[in-house]
Chain A
Amino acid sequence: GNSVTQMEGPVTLSEEAFLTINCTYTATGYPSLFWYVQYPGEGLQLLLKATKADDKGSNKGFEATYRKETTSFHLEKGSVQVSDSAVYFCASTDTGRRALTFGSGTRLQVQP
């Protein structure tokens, strides 16, 4: 089955710093890739997604590009804010199970 590996956290940054959270996947077939964000005490919100190689997903200043050659989907943001502090999950769907496989999650802490 699929698997997703994320960089360990927590990631601590100062406001306006550049953010990268690494995500790599293993899959048979052509999975769709997602980034979800979870704020404390809440459910998961879709941040962005990409459904085929070389697609770039973007939302609220966050971007990630589906790289088939490196099996990666790294999340980036040019200038983080305190309000971006949350846990970020990379996830993939496989064409067989049609269910999400999540990475372990990366906690981001942004300090003023």
Chain B
Amino acid sequence: DTEVTQTPKHLVMGMTNKKSLKCEQHMGHRAMYWYKQKAKKPPELMFVYSYEKLSINESVPSRFSPECPNSSLLNLHLHALQPEDSALYLCASSLSPGRSTDTQYFGPGTRLTVL
């Protein structure tokens, strides 16, 4: 099973709302990732978690707050977002944080619209 699940599938929020995106995998992967994808663009890395610890933050604004409560779960907490944050948010996981040969498996994404 190579499945990464993400909820919700779609999310519409106002600029003053607080919401969270959820990502789950049960493959025993120890690296988890958040990417942001704008329309007709490639995914852009936001955060990397290695063994449940934040290892890479690509200078993402603080209105995005990641959390990794355990090895299977990854959250992205959203607060005071801007309309330009509207995008597809993709979660991914890979087996070992230390190996660049490992495949990253992607979830279906959450399509976020900020009004």
Q: Does B109 touch A at the CB level, under 8 Å? A: yes
Query: Are B48 and A44 in contact (CB-based, < 8 A)?
Result: no
A44 to B40, CA, bound (A): 13
Bitwise, A23-55 to B at CB < 8 A (1) or not (0) is 000000001101010000011111001010000
- For residue A51, which residues in chain B have a CB less than 8 angstroms away from its CB? 101
Name the contact of B106 in the complex, choosing from A31, A45, A97, A103 (C-beta under 8 A). A45
Query: Are A98 and B98 in contact (CB-based, < 8 A)?
Result: yes
When C-beta atoms are compared, the residue in chain A nearest to B97 turns out to be A98
- For residue A72, which residues in chain B have a CB less than 8 angstroms away from its CB? none
A98 to B107, CA, bound (A): 19
A8 to chain B, nearest CB (A): 12
Question: Which of B78-115 touch A at CB < 8 Å?
Answer: 90, 92, 97-101, 103-109
Contact status of A43 and B107, CB under 8 A, knowing A98-B99, A98-B100: yes
Contact status of A34 and B108, CB under 8 A, knowing A44-B43, A98-B97, A105-B41: no
A45 to B108, CA, bound (A): 9
Question: Which of A78-105 touch B at CB < 8 Å?
Answer: 89, 93-95, 97-100, 102-105
A40 to B92, CA, bound (A): 18
- For residue A100, which residues in chain B have a CB less than 8 angstroms away from its CB? 43, 45, 104
A64 to chain B, nearest CB (A): 14
A109 to chain B, nearest CB (A): 14
B95 to chain A, nearest CB (A): 12
When C-beta atoms are compared, the residue in chain A nearest to B98 turns out to be A98
A55 to chain B, nearest CB (A): 10
A45 to B104, CA, bound (A): 9
Name the contact of B90 in the complex, choosing from A43, A46, A95, A104 (C-beta under 8 A). A43
14 residue pairs of the A-B complex, CB under 8 angstroms, read A31-B100, A32-B101, A34-B103, A42-B108, A43-B109, A44-B43, A45-B106, A51-B101, A89-B43, A93-B100, A94-B100, A95-B100, A100-B43, A104-B42
